[in-house]
């Protein structure tokens, strides 16, 4: 039997559905809408295995904040009605046949990345359902990312058009430009255009930093801020070696619970 693992970036999906609702206190509507969305995803993707991965709502900002204290420091807290309704949402999804994986100290992104790579590296098909472009660094012939809300694939042509670099260079790209939404500073004075120029000439930040051919206008910036670039790259990269505590058989998708 061929494997197709579908991984739902759960809070990414739930927050977008919830924010579009006229009444933020109407969790029943969130449950109905997300369940309808998942049924469409199931119909379109025909998964053999499926799981929804959640950040634990009580966790701290994780290992990234230890490297960069300002990381996600100003992120908005989850709306209280939504936080109170998460258990009901997970229960509704369970009845659809979708188990939930809650992070415990690690960010959901790293759990998703670890599970996705473990399966894709064995040549099996993986689809991550998320609008988060951070997952694009994982792209491979057997691993794809679907932005359900924009009805598009976040694939190699999308990355080329959006960033002008290869998927494998995205952590270097964000190490240079930073990620403003997560309070990741990058290198001051290096924006998307400059990062693209650097990473077109060099494969990585380290290769650029070590080269005498790096343009003088970038040499000064990297010399002054190489430590920040390295930290920001480390934060932008996804962990793929977390102990998951379950195997693929545990998340086989067999349809709604009776």
Map 192-210 to HEC letters: HHHHHHHHHHCCCHHHHHH
Q: What is the pLDDT of residue 144?
A: 98
Q: What is the pLDDT of residue 61?
A: 65
- On the question of pLDDT at 58 being above 70, the answer is no
CA dihedral of 186, 138, 92, 75, whole degrees rounded to 10? 0
Q: What is the pLDDT of residue 104?
A: 72
pLDDT tens per residue across span 165-221: 999 999 999 999 999 999 999 999 999 999 999 999 999 999 999 999 999 999 999
Max Cα distance, the chain (Å): 66
Which residue in this structure is represented by tokens 């709604």?
Answer: 256
Out of 5-9, 74-78, 210-214, least confident range: 74-78
Annotated ligand binding at 190? The verdict is yes
- On the question of pLDDT at 250 being above 80, the answer is yes
Q: How would residue 59 be classed by pLDDT, with cut points 50, 70 and 90?
A: low
Specify whether domain 161-236 bears CATH 3.40.50.20: no
Out of 170-174, 179-183, 226-230, 233-237, least confident range: 179-183
Q: How would residue 27 be classed by pLDDT, with cut points 50, 70 and 90?
A: very high
Q: What is the pLDDT of residue 169?
A: 98
CA-wise closest residue to 171 among 156, 160, 186 = 186
Annotated ligand binding at 111? The verdict is no
pTM score: 0.95
Q: What is the pLDDT of residue 255?
A: 93
3-state class of 206 per DSSP?
Answer: helix
CA-wise closest residue to 238 among 106, 126, 123, 122 = 106
Exposed e or buried b per residue across 7-42, where buried means at least 16 C-beta atoms within 10 angstroms of its C-beta: bbbbbbbbbebbeeeeeeeebeebbebbbebbeebb
CB 148 within 8 A of CB 37: yes
Out of 12-16, 52-56, 112-116, 188-192, least confident range: 52-56
Domain-by-domain residue ranges, the chain? 4-154, 161-236
Which residue in this structure is represented by tokens 């693209």?
Answer: 196
What tokens appear for 37 in the block?
Answer: 């969305």
Directed axis angle between helix 170-177 and helix 216-236, to 10°? 120
CA separation for the pair 197, 216 (Å, rounded): 13
| Helix (H), strand (E) counts: the chain | 10, 6
- On the question of pLDDT at 56 being above 70, the answer is no
Q: Which fold has domain 4-154?
A: Rossmann fold (3.40.50)
Annotated ligand binding at 109? The verdict is yes
Annotated ligand binding at 187? The verdict is yes
3-state class of 7 per DSSP?
Answer: strand
pLDDT tens per residue across span 101-112: 987 767 889 999
Q: How would residue 79 be classed by pLDDT, with cut points 50, 70 and 90?
A: confident
């Amino acid at each position: 039997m061929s494997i197709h693992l579908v991984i739902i970036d759960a809070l990414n999906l739930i927050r977008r559905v919830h924010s579009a609702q006229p009444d933020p206190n109407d969790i029943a509507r969130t449950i109905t809408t997300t369940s309808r969305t998942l049924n469409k995803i199931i119909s379109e993707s025909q998964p053999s295995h499926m799981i929804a991965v959640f950040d634990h709502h009580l966790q701290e900002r994780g290992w990234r904040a230890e490297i960069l204290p300002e990381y996600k420091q100003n992120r908005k807290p989850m709306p209280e009605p939504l936080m109170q309704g998460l258990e009901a949402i997970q229960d509704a999804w369970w009845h659809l046949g979708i188990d939930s994986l809650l992070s415990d100290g690690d960010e959901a992104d790293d759990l998703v990345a670890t599970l996705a790579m473990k399966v894709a590296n064995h040549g099996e098909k993986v689809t991550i359902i998320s609008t988060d472009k951070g997952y694009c660094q994982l792209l491979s012939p057997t691993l794809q990312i679907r932005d359900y809300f924009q009805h598009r694939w976040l694939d190699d042509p999308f990355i080329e058009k959006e960033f002008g670099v290869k998927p494998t260079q995205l952590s270097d790209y964000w190490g240079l430009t930073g990620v403003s939404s997560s309070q990741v500073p990058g290198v001051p004075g290096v924006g998307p255009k400059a990062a693209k120029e650097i990473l077109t000439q060099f494969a990585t930040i380290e290769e650029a930093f070590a080269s005498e051919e790096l343009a003088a206008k970038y040499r000064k910036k990297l010399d002054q801020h190489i430590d920040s670039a390295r930290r920001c790259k480390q934060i932008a990269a996804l962990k793929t070696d977390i102990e998951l505590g379950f195997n693929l058989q545990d998340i086989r998708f067999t349809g709604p619970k009776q």
